[in-house]
Structure 1
Amino acid sequence: MLSINIEYSWERFSADYQLAIAPGMTTLLGASGEGKSTLLHLLGGFLSGQGELSFQGQSLLALPAYQRPITTLFQSDNLFPQLTVWQNVAIGLNASLALSAEQKQRVIWALEKTQLQDKAERFPQALSGGQAQRVAIARALVRKKPILLLDEPFSALDPALREEMLQLVAKVTEEYDLTTLLVSHLPQEALLVGGRVVLIEKGKVAAHESVDVLQQPQKIAAFAEYFGHNRGL
């Protein structure tokens, strides 16, 4: 269980996040500027907040980003253009790229899971958008961290590729019992990946429900209001 009780303030924005997240897929919904990405940055250690943050009983808030059991995928795939696909995945294990035999097997495993084994020697500029995002996912997988944070990493992809990437993340989350948080503006993405959905408003958790609530949002006041203000989503 990922337990969150964090306060954060910056200029005119203040947030107070309080929720507990079980393993599986959780989608963070909310309008722009409401604090979805801020929550992910606090969890990942890229912003400093006050309060409590723990995972399976271990306190995380005092740990720097690199020591937390967390991998974050941002909107950019963050691939190194001078490195091959293999090297871009391997660097998730060791910045020097000097891997043990066991680590090399983990890279092979991650490439197979993301169907990139035949692209191992290619450079990022030779990849399609979807392939580049799969490299980023492979690098996340190879680290074998139990928490995966997705800050709209597929937003620039066309709808078909975006759906493919979301299905891959949902499959990997289930197979390896990950705790995955996905930031999205699209309720249909939450329905696609399943699990639970959290509505963020003004830096707070307005609702935390099964994703099934999106089929009949009028039953929960916060979701009814969200959908009423976002009919185009």
Structure 2
Amino acid sequence: MRVLVVEDEVFMAEALREGLRHEAIAADVAFDGDEALERVGVNDYDVIVLDRDIPGTHGDDVCAAVTRDHPGTRVLMLTAATRLRDKVDGFTLGADDYLTKPFALEELVVRLRALARRPSAAIPPLLECADLRLDPYRREAYRDGRRLRLARKQFAVLELLMRADGGVVSAETLLEKVWDENADPFTSAPRVTVSTLRRVLGEPDPVVTVPGVGYRLAGTRGRA
């Protein structure tokens, strides 16, 4: 999952970014509305965590623009206001969820993962491919009934491959969705993570390398 945090309080924005990265959620930061719109126009975000009261383009206008131009991107509004009218206005603009400050990082992470399970095209809460089963909400993965002990990045890579439903996922997409904009484009991190994921998944290897393109999951069932 890739998230854009739009927050003008530098300490809070950086704390959120580091906290989300610790949960294997790739997070970028924008400190005003103009920067947010610029980043959304360049990068493919799954969710935008949007402070409503930000400098530059107002948060309401950012929300309306994202809803109009990027319908597949979810918006979670942040605000210090607790009035029902403010929340109603946010949802009217197209926000998918609302969180009032102060909040716990754990609650934000849960809400983000819930939003990521609600893309434009409906998908099942449980992902299945051959003998692999993954529950994004509970952060659990199984192969042929055996619980897999996956590191955060391994889980995120496997989730992307399973969501692709047999399609090829490029190393660039892995880097974009699992890491963030600060990742070195020439890093071997995706290749290394796929390699360690393969060891955890066991034999027969369900991850197919498509030379020069990326990776996909094989559809042949086999015992691990």
TM-score (norm 1): 0.26
Greater relative CO (CA pairs within 8 A, separation 6+): 1
TM-score, normalization by structure 2? 0.26
